[in-house]
Amino acid sequence: MAGIEFLKGHGTQNDFVLLPDPAGSLELTPRRVAALCDRQRGLGADGVLRVVRSAALDADSAAEWFMDYRNADGSIAEMCGNGVRVFARYLVESGLEAGPEFAVGSRAGDRPVRVHDDLSVTVGMGRPTVTGTSVAVVDGRQVSGVAVDVGNPHLVSVLDDDVRALDLREPPRYDSEVFPEGVNIEFVNLLGPELLRMRVHERGVGETRACGTGTVAAVAATLHLRGDDSGESAVEIPGGRVAVTVGSDGGATLTGPAVFVARGELEGVWWDSLT
C-alpha cells in the first residue's frame, strides 16, 4: 500500500492521530489503532480520529462528515469532546467545510461546532444526564460518585483532598453491573463557584491529560450536587483549561483549543504488516 496521510494534534494535550479517509477505504482494525497509539512502536496518541463521510459508513447522521473515534486500545468509542474540536478544525482548514459553523457526526449523535478565529472550538455536547450514583476504588480507598451520561458513561467523584496527589497508575475499580461497557472516571476538586480541577482515568486508555466529555460530566455532576439545573464553569485539567456551560434547556457546550503539531505519511509496509 502507498503511504497513508496522517495528522497529529491535541485538545488540551489529549492527543490524537487523525486519518483523512473520506471514502471509508481504510481497514481500521483494533490492532492497527493500538499500534498507531503506542508511544514506542507507533506515533503515540490517546486515540484515533478517522475523517470519513457519513454516507461511506451508512451512518445515521445528517452531517456530511463523521468522526469515527477509536480508543488507544483499539476499542470503539461513542464521543470525544477534545477529539471533535481537533476534527472540526481539520475540516475547516482542509476546505472540507466552509465553516465556521456546521455539524459533525458521531456515535453519540450529531454535534454542532463553531471554529473561532483564534482556532479554539465550541462544541454542542448534547444533554448530560445524571443517571444515579455509584462507587469506585482508587488509590486504595473507596469513593462515591455521580453517574453521568454524556453520550458515553462517566462517574464523577468530588474529593476534599487534592486530586493531584492521587495515584492513577492502576485503573480504578468500579461496579461493572452499573457500567457493563466500562466507564470514564473523573476526580474533581471544587476551587470556586465557577472553577473545578479535574483528573480522569479513561476506559480503554488510562489516565489522560484531558477528557472533553469528562469535563462536561464534571460540571453537570457538581451542578446536580448543589441543586442547580444550569450554570457554567472553567475546568482545570493537567493539559490546560476548558470552559463548560450547561444551559437552561439542559444542553451543554464545551469550548477549548485545538492544536496540530505534525502531518505526514504512514509507511504502507508498516500498515500492511498489522493485518
Q: Which of 45, 51, 211, 254 is catalytic?
A: 211
C-alpha distance from residue 227 to each of 105, 207, 209, 222, 230 (Å):
32, 29, 29, 9, 9
Place of cell 465550541: 122
Say how many C-beta atoms besides its own lie within 10 A of residue 205's C-beta.
20
Tell me what pLDDT residue 120 has. Answer: 97
Catalytic residue among 34, 45, 80, 266: 80
pLDDT in tens, 44-75: 999 999 999 999 999 999 999 999 999 999 99
Closest CA to 16 of 47, 40, 42, 43: 47
| Pairwise CA distance, residues 214 & 96, whole Å | 28
Q: Is the pLDDT of residue 1 over 80?
A: no
**Is a pLDDT exceeding 90 seen at residue 99?**
no
pLDDT digits (tens, 9 = 90+) for 3-15: 999 999 999 999 9
What Rg, from alpha-carbon coordinates, does the chain have?
Answer: 18
Note the pLDDT of residue 204.
87
Catalytic residue list contains 80? yes
Which cell numbers hold the place of 184?
Answer: 470514564
How far is 133 from 36, CA to CA, in rounded Å? 36
